[in-house]
Structure 1
């Protein structure tokens, strides 16, 4: 009876709570280790391992990669085309103040992202690109008169793009495109440009009016010459026979209207009708 009582006493012994906590902590630690053993690189990016603050030159492509938990991290570098915009104040060749708004599309050299991140870091857009744009815009703007900046915008943008591409190539950055969004000048310069355009339009109108008057005068001269030539030819066509024929036609029309009676009152002369000519006809 004593043995049975002892076994029942042991079966009712409570489970050790410390073991449960230990198992739970172990499972949680394993989960943390597993999750920290992998890192993903997003599409449009490349990755670099960073181990205790030191970069590794192994380039990671988009996808999942293993890493040492709590020791390594993965830095992602955007390799897509990125836009940076900046405003620059400068002076033109004729000392006109010019504010320029520029948009630059750039990307990183994928094969050189280790050098880029190791030497410059992730803030290369503010550290390298924006200051370079500011300096080159001022340099190019100073070469052109203010009016040429407007009329030769494509040429100005091309020169800025060439200089900026050479400058940023030192840092493994690629210029894909550059757009000069706007040139802003002083109000007085804008008014002078407007006045000049109005004067040019008026001069063009006056020139067109003069050309029109000259053309109309030439047309009138030509028309008068044609009429004179026509009259000359008609005069050459008049012969004695033609004159006789016209006289006969007039007399015929007069006979058609005559009622056979001679006028009772005349002015001292009797109308003459050439009957012999009519008889011959």
Structure 2
């Protein structure tokens, strides 16, 4: 009897009003949940109203939207990297394989226009084709050797062309990095042979310059010696010769030991005056 009474009381408590209250609370909760959206850091929100793109763009943080009518598509505006390898032709018709890395990001104020015009697959539809077209347009202006020797200039031009192409779709170009140029094996061998020839020519030129310098040094030394001899001859006078003779005689007297020679170099020999 007691159990039946408890069951009857519980049934009376959970009446139509209670059920309606619960349903109303659930609907209000769902309404509030659908009215709130949170945009994460590094993203912007594209607002769609019944499928139509709206002019307003949500920044990072908490936002309110019309439940069941509006939806929000988050789009990343952080710097993104696209790396690709493209094949093109140089001005001298050499095949060039270029590996390039491109950093870019979306214009946060115009992500709604990008979404409306292109969609989420903008990297494959816009960025990659623009990179290929910019590379082909610029590499065609240079020979294969110039692509290597003027690499910084080529990189600057590619950046300028690519920046213009991406800006049409509200994509901002940050930086590019041309990692390498690859050519055919025949061209690589030709470049290597040319470098060897240039090195040999430079060595020969340096050898010729060295020989020329050594010859000039020898001529300079010979001229100096000749000039010294000429000056010495100018200084020789009869008085100087007589003085040198007197000096030689004095030196001979200084060295004489007091003995006369037995035989002289002349025709008349000396007589030995020594006592026997």
TM-score (norm. length: structure 2): 0.83
C-alpha change, 1:171 and 1:11, in structure 2 (3 Å) is closer
C-alpha change, 1:231 and 1:127, in structure 2 (3 Å) is same
TM-superposed deviation, 1:174: 2.2
Distance in structure 1 (CA, Å) of the matches to 2:51 and 2:13: 38
TM-superposed deviation, 1:228: 0.6
Task: Name the residue aligned to 2:252.
Answer: 254
SS in 2 for 1:144: coil
Distance in structure 1 (CA, Å) of the matches to 2:253 and 2:26: 140
Task: Name the residue aligned to 1:182.
Answer: 180
Distance in structure 2 (CA, Å) of the matches to 1:65 and 1:202: 73
User: What CA RMSD, in Å, does the superposition of the two structures yield over aligned residues?
Assistant: 3.1
SS in 2 for 1:143: coil
Structure 1 segment 51-70 matched on structure 2, within 5 A? 51-70=49-68
The one of 164, 189, 214 equivalent to 1:191 is 189
Q: Deviations over 1:218-251 (max 9, x none)?
A: 1111111111111101111112222122222222
Task: Name the residue aligned to 1:213.
Answer: 211
Q: Deviations over 1:233-281 (max 9, x none)?
A: 111111222212222222222222211111123333689xxxxxxxxxx
TM-superposed deviation, 1:110: 2.9
Distance in structure 2 (CA, Å) of the matches to 1:8 and 1:99: 87
TM-superposed deviation, 1:167: 2.0
Task: Name the residue aligned to 1:157.
Answer: 155
Distance in structure 1 (CA, Å) of the matches to 2:83 and 2:189: 28
C-alpha change, 1:246 and 1:151, in structure 2 (3 Å) is same
C-alpha change, 1:33 and 1:239, in structure 2 (3 Å) is same
Task: Name the residue aligned to 2:239.
Answer: 241
SS in 2 for 1:43: coil
Task: Name the residue aligned to 1:227.
Answer: 225
SS in 2 for 1:217: helix
TM-superposed deviation, 1:141: 2.0
Distance in structure 1 (CA, Å) of the matches to 2:127 and 2:204: 51
Task: Name the residue aligned to 1:113.
Answer: 111
TM-score (norm. length: structure 1): 0.82
The one of 37, 44, 47 equivalent to 2:45 is 47
SS in 1 for 2:119: coil
C-alpha change, 1:8 and 1:174, in structure 2 (3 Å) is closer
Farther off after superposition, 152-161 or 224-233 = 152-161
C-alpha change, 1:116 and 1:18, in structure 2 (3 Å) is farther
